């Protein structure tokens, strides 16, 4: 969406400061746009109120399919070959569980990769024009937008939260 507005990033040294800024932005008249972190932050995700990922569900389903596929493959191959087993059962539980376990791991990894590729929507290149490289190392970034006439108020908001600020030019494209 194109809007005549200013994007300002608050750069915080501590994770808790960034979390507090995200919470305060949600209760303000400014528009919260994005949060950047040098590492995955569960506190920031919780403050944003995002839903948890469903990648684990893909992993679970893949593991279940893998277990039954491995067990079924071992059972199928044992019954197709006419082996003399000396009175022991052809479909032995314990040895087939080993094959089922190995297939569980294999298919769980496949399910995880499929879930990650499906749900992550990579690569995510939107929003890179409003990025500061310090967010990849030592700072937490909180990006907010406001109408051009409220720029100073938003700068003061971030300074009160204890942040350094970086202003992006008015009229720049706001990430969606």
Q: Which residue has the higher pLDDT, 48 or 103?
A: 103
Would you say residue 173 lies in a domain?
Answer: no
Q: Kindly state the greatest CA–CA separation across the chain.
A: 88
Say what the pLDDT of residue 52 is. 79
The secondary structure of the chain as a DSSP string is ---SEEEEEEEESSHHHHHHHHHHHHTSSSEEEEEE-SS--HHHHHHHTPPPPSHHHHHHHHHHHHHHHHHHHHHHHHHHS----TTS-SS-HHHHHHHHHHHHHHHHHHHHHHHHHHHH-S---TTGGG--GGGGTT-EEEEEEEEGGGHHHHHHHHHHTT-EEEEEPTTPPPP-
> How much is the pLDDT for 2?
43
Q: Which domain holds residue 70?
A: 55-120
pLDDT at residue 176 tops 50: no
- Name the range with the highest mean pLDDT among 54-63, 82-91, 120-129: 54-63
At CB < 8 A and 24+ separation, what contacts does 48-56 make? 48/22, 53/119, 54/115, 54/119, 55/112, 55/115, 55/116, 55/119, 56/115
Residue 40 lies in a domain: yes
Provide the residue count of the chain.
176
On whether residue 9 sits in a domain, the answer given is yes
What are 125's two structure tokens?
């290149």
The answer, yes or no, to whether residue 82 has pLDDT greater than 80, is no
Average predicted confidence (pLDDT) for the chain: 86
Q: What is the CATH number of the domain that holds 46?
A: 3.30.70.120
Q: Is residue 162 part of a domain?
A: yes
pLDDT at 171 (0 to 100): 52
pLDDT digits (tens, 9 = 90+) for 7-60: 889 999 999 999 999 998 888 889 888 898 899 888 988 888 878 789 999 999
pLDDT class of 3 with cuts at 50, 70, 90: very low
Q: Which two tokens stand for residue 95?
A: 């040895």
- Domains identified in the chain, total number: 2
pTM of the complete model: 0.62
**What pLDDT sits at residue 123?**
67
Q: Is residue 175 part of a domain?
A: no
Please determine, for residue 4, whether its predicted confidence score (pLDDT) is greater than 60.
no
């Amino acid at each position: 969406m194109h809007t005549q507005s200013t994007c300002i990033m608050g750069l915080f040294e501590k994770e808790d400061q960034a979390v507090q800024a995200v919470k305060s932005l949600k209760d303000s008249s400014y528009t919260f746009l994005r949060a950047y972190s040098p590492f995955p932050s569960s506190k920031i995700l919780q403050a944003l109120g995002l839903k948890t990922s469903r990648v684990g569900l893909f992993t679970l389903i893949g593991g279940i399919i893998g277990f039954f596929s491995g067990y079924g493959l071992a059972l199928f191959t044992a019954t197709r070959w006419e082996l003399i087993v000396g009175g022991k059962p052809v479909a032995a539980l314990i040895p087939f569980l080993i094959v089922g376990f190995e297939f569980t791991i294999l298919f769980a990894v496949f399910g995880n990769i499929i879930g990650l590729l499906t749900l992550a929507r990579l690569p995510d290149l939107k929003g890179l024009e409003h990025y500061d490289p310090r967010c990849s190392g030592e700072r937490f970034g909180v990006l907010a937008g406001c109408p051009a006439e409220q720029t100073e108020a938003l700068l003061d908001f971030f300074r009160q939260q204890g942040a350094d600020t970086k202003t992006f030019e008015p009229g720049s494209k706001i990430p969606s």
